[in-house]
Amino acid sequence: MYERVYIFDTTLRDGEQSPGINLNVQEKLEIAAQLERLGVDAIEAGFPVASKGDFEAVKAIAQNIRKPIIVGLARAVEKDIERAWEALKYAARPRIHTFIATSDIHMEYKLKMTPNQVLKRVHETVSFAKSLCPDVEFSAEDGSRTRPEFLFEVIKTAIKAGATAINIPDTVGYGTPQEFGGLIRSIRENVEGIDNIILSVHCHNDLGMAVPNSLSAIQNGANQIECTINGLGERAGNAALEEIVMALKTRKDFYGCETGIVTEEIYRTSRLVSHLTGIHIQPNKAITGANAFAHESGIHQHGMLSNRETYEIMTPESVGLRQSQMVLGKHSGRHAFEEKLEEMGYIHLDADKINQAFEKFKDLADKKKHIMDSDIEALVNEKVIQVPAVYDLEYFHISSGNSTIATSTVQMKTEDEIIQEAACGDGPIDATFKAIDRAAGIEVELKDYYLRAVTSGKDALGEVTVKIGRNGDVFVGRGISTDVIEASARAYVNAINKMLYESEME
């Protein structure tokens, strides 16, 4: 029997705290549904007291996602805990996660509390959370820099008050694998009652050691890992779920434990999160980077042809990565398209989304001879979640060159009018964005612009991601087309629509 390690995903809470990420309720629900398919044991859905949007997202996830435990974060104060419970009470398996800092530096300078006051607060708030919800997790923030003797006291207090899981965060990513593992072992050895509850860790990646620290914690007795898809999270991020899971799977001989993750769903989850957050994955990232399974050198290719295991320690298929295959062409019908979607694992799309994706596919087939898996993936992702559009881009026209001032004319449609505007700019994309601003009558800051080719070849689909900012909030838009200016304009209009939709919801 292998030891079972629980996977607690905090992409929607700690991950969402990454700079430049702002997911709306629909997007969070879509990610939560995918995390459920991925087989995570717990989803930390948000921090309900933080904002109305966070509250609504946790509530919607609690109402709709039934298999995993749904967790809501709360500081160790009654009003946070109450608010978390209000959102979580709909869940099939709710868990309140409450935390307070326990290191000397945090207690003295941030909390301005003595250790005894902190102990008292732990007792009061964990007891209060327990009176609302049978499953309560307690985190000792900055646990890795807490004096071990005091940490033991804190944990004992939380267990006595009814905690069902204790989490030790390496909040500032300071730990090293040996030292952090040693801390976890000392908790197992010194805290009575710890064996009857879950012992969890939550590692940040400031020194690039979040994954090794988490794995070392497992070797030393942790049985829950808090982690995020693509390693998103505060500052340098959290431990990457896909790296931990694949390390445990590939080196089961060494670690001797397993998770409940359906590893074939890893790639799709990673792409969905990247798509919705607008945070791109570096090509050489372990497990999900574009080059993770690419073998460039002749020696490697030769070895692979003789026996894949010469250079491949896990298969691309095991993380859900399929070779991009030529799939369909302009004569393919709707039935073939649907079959292809099913084969690619898109079994949850409703008829509306399939129709929209099919229409896009037909448009694309007129422009591009061979349509690949990755084209279909981009089309579907574009159609997965669309907020109701205030503006539709009808057409654009540009005039540009290396010795003329770029100008762009756009026509946009709303429910009751058609608006035309023109503008000059530093190049055709800038001019188009300015013309769109004018047509929409708004001013936003362009915070990020990213263009990638979905496949290779001159007729490749271009996928543009833009981030626009207004009043401190960031909105991500995405557009695809074989024409990069059109993809850019669509991405920009999409970001504006999202911004308008969010302000309406507030």
Binding site for ligand KIV (CB under 6 A): 14, 99, 139, 141, 167, 169, 171, 202, 204
3-class SS of residue 406: strand
Q: Nearer Cβ to ligand KIV, position 210 or 464?
A: 210
> Residues touching Zn ion: how many (CB under 5 A)?
1
Non-local CB neighbours of 476 within 8 Å, separated by 6+ positions: 22, 276, 277, 278, 465, 466, 467, 495, 498
Instruction: Confirm if 181 and 209 have CB atoms less than 8 A apart.
Output: no
CB of 473 to ligand KIV, least distance (A): 22
Q: Nearer Cβ to Zn ion, position 211 or 327?
A: 211
Q: Which of 7, 11, 14, 46 binds Zn ion (CB under 5 A)?
A: 14
List alpha helices for 133-176, DSSP H.
Answer: 148-160
CB of 207 to Zn ion, least distance (A): 15
Non-local CB neighbours of 458 within 8 Å, separated by 6+ positions: none
Decide: residue 374, CB within 10 A, 0-12 exposed, 13-18 middle, 19+ buried.
buried
CB of 18 to ligand KIV, least distance (A): 12
Residues 390-429 that bind Zn ion (CB under 5 A): none
**From the list ligand KIV, Zn ion, none, partner contacted by residue 141 (C-beta under 5 to 8 A by kind):** ligand KIV
Nearest C-alpha neighbor of 55 from the set 73, 39, 37: 73
Decide: residue 469, CB within 10 A, 0-12 exposed, 13-18 middle, 19+ buried.
middle
3-class SS of residue 290: coil
Stretch that binds Zn ion, among 7-15, 215-223, 252-260, 390-398 (CB under 5 A): 7-15
265 binds Zn ion (CB under 5 A): no
CB of 312 to Zn ion, least distance (A): 33
CB of 255 to ligand KIV, least distance (A): 24
Nearest C-alpha neighbor of 62 from the set 107, 94, 30, 33: 94
Q: Nearer Cβ to Zn ion, position 166 or 493?
A: 166
Strands 165-170 and 136-141: parallel
**From the list ligand KIV, Zn ion, none, partner contacted by residue 139 (C-beta under 5 to 8 A by kind):** ligand KIV
CB of 10 to ligand KIV, least distance (A): 7
226 binds Zn ion (CB under 5 A): no
Instruction: Confirm if 377 and 341 have CB atoms less than 8 A apart.
Output: no
Non-local CB neighbours of 391 within 8 Å, separated by 6+ positions: 412, 413, 414, 439, 440, 493, 496, 497
Q: Nearer Cβ to Zn ion, position 13 or 130?
A: 13
Tokens of 72: 């809501």
Q: Nearer Cβ to Zn ion, position 105 or 505?
A: 105
Q: Nearer Cβ to ligand KIV, position 175 or 428?
A: 175
Nearest C-alpha neighbor of 493 from the set 426, 437, 428, 454: 437
Q: Nearer Cβ to ligand KIV, position 99 or 396?
A: 99
CB of 202 to Zn ion, least distance (A): 6
Element (H, E) at 380: helix 373-384
44 binds Zn ion (CB under 5 A): no
Q: Nearer Cβ to ligand KIV, position 167 or 270?
A: 167
141 binds Zn ion (CB under 5 A): no
CB of 163 to ligand KIV, least distance (A): 13
Residue 263, Cβ neighbours under 10 Å: how many? 21
Stretch that binds Zn ion, among 8-16, 94-102, 423-431, 484-492 (CB under 5 A): 8-16
Interacting residues with Zn ion (CB under 5 A): 14
